[in-house]
Amino acid sequence: MGDDLLDALADGAVLAGADGRVTAVNATARRMLGVSDGIGKLLEDVLTLRDHEGRDWCSHNRPYAGLPTRTAVPEQPWLLPDGTEVLVVARLHRAALSEPVSTVAVSLRSGRGRARLDRERSDLVATVAHELRSPLTGVKGFVQALLNRWDQLNDDQKKLMLTTVAADSDRLTRLIAELLDIARIDTGRLQLYPRPVDAAVLVRRVVDSVGAGTSRALELTVADAVPEVLVDPDKLTQVVTNLVENAVRHGEGTVRVRLEPADPAAEGPGVRLTVEDEGEGISPEMRRRVFTKFWTGGRGGGSGLGLYLVHGLVRAHGGTVAIEDAEGGGARIVVLLPAGEFAD
């Protein structure tokens, strides 16, 4: 491979021959390792990587030793001279099993991506634990009270406790379903089961359900001749529920929900769902972050996963979601869903 091609690689690359001396170092590896050239030097003198115990990569992995069937050194985290973590993997090339190693090809990749993934996983575990704790505490408390004081409670008290347990159980079921959907979105394995849906009926049902559990004012406006949309009704219910609940949680004043036909000329056939509140709004520089994991702007708390899920589900249906300023202040979230087939 020519030097220009090696330099075009995003990862660092170091090649060494049968004598253990470096034959090529691309630009990324030179920058990572802090070397100006390295050609002709011993691999261990160029690949100055250490682990947390001070061992160097070459003496620890011994790329020129070992069984003749050995073809690679698996990916491992190592530290650059400046202390930055990189992920290092190597291929060991031989002309034949009976021949010694002829070429060692080492690849170095920044460990920031893995660190970010590890942080996201830790954040997700913490978020899940926090979100599950509250309803589980309620369920356990009421069930324990029913078991211990069954004969002392009247029918109305029992009904109230069981109703609360049922509501908390529904909340847990919904949270688990959303976490599974988030995992499927992240891995590209989300499955949809679309069918023609009357969006007006579905949105009205969601608004009524959320309105029954809050003292905030909710206004729903449904325009005439709203077309059916080809969607997974369960997923669309998740989208609308998260948007309305998010507006109730983070906004102020009246939450206004509007469903209308999309503009055929500008947006194509479909429906436009608008949810807006009278709160502080979302500044333009923050709008990119709203649909990322664990965004919890505002004072209302929450898991920070709701709008990330909304974005993923809307896109999976071939639609778009955007944030605008409401006319009287506050935030307006606009969802466009096509009336025809999904985008691939």
**What CATH homologous superfamily does 3-110 map to?**
PAS domain (3.30.450.20)
Residue the block writes with tokens 């020129």 = 64
How do the pLDDT tens digits run along the chain, 344 residues long?
556 788 888 899 999 999 999 999 999 999 999 998 889 999 999 999 998 888 899 999 999 988 888 899 988 888 998 888 889 999 999 998 889 999 999 999 887 766 666 666 666 676 677 777 878 888 899 899 999 999 999 999 999 999 889 888 888 888 888 888 888 887 778 888 999 999 999 999 999 998 988 888 899 999 998 999 999 999 999 999 999 988 888 777 889 999 999 888 777 788 999 999 887 777 777 777 777 776 666 555 555 678 888 999 999 998 999 888 877 778 889 999 988 654 44
Tokens of 56: 């160097």
Q: Give me the pLDDT at residue 7, please.
A: 85
Tokens of 215: 């003292």
What's the chain look like in SS3? CCHHHHHHCCCEEEEECCCCEEEEECHHHHHHHCCCCCCCCEHHHHCCCECCCCCEHHHHHCCCCCCCCCCEEEEEEEECCCCCEEEEEEEEEECCCCCCEEEEEEEEEECHHHHHHHHHHHHHHHHHHHHHHHHHHHHHHHHHHHHHHHHHCCHHHHHHHHHHHHHHHHHHHHHHHHHHHHHHHHHCCCCCCCEEECHHHHHHHHHHHHHHCCCCCEEEEECCCCCCEEECHHHHHHHHHHHHHHHHHHCCCCEEEEEEECCHHHHCCEEEEEEECCCCCCCHHHHHHHCCCCCCCCCCCCCCCHHHHHHHHHHHCCCEEEEEECCCCCEEEEEEEECCCCCC
Domain extents in the chain? 3-110, 114-187, 195-338
Residue the block writes with tokens 């004598």 = 19
pTM of the model: 0.60
Q: Give me the pLDDT at residue 342, please.
A: 41
**Angle subtended at Cα 24 by Cα 21 and Cα 29, rounded to the nearest 5 degrees:** 110
Q: Give the separation between CA 70 and CA 126, rounded to whole angstroms.
A: 41
321 CB neighbour count, 10 Å cutoff: 21
Range 195-338 classified under CATH 3.30.565.10:
yes
Q: Give the separation between CA 331 and CA 329, rounded to whole angstroms.
A: 7
Q: Give me the pLDDT at residue 44, please.
A: 94
Please list, in sequence order, all residues whose beta carbon lies within 8 angstroms of the beta carbon of residue 76, skipping any fewer than 6 positions away: 61, 87, 88, 89
Q: Are 164 and 156 in contact (CB under 8 A)?
A: no
Q: Give the separation between CA 206 and CA 218, rounded to whole angstroms.
A: 11
CATH class of 114-187: mainly alpha
- Per CATH, 114-187 and 195-338 having the same topology is answered no
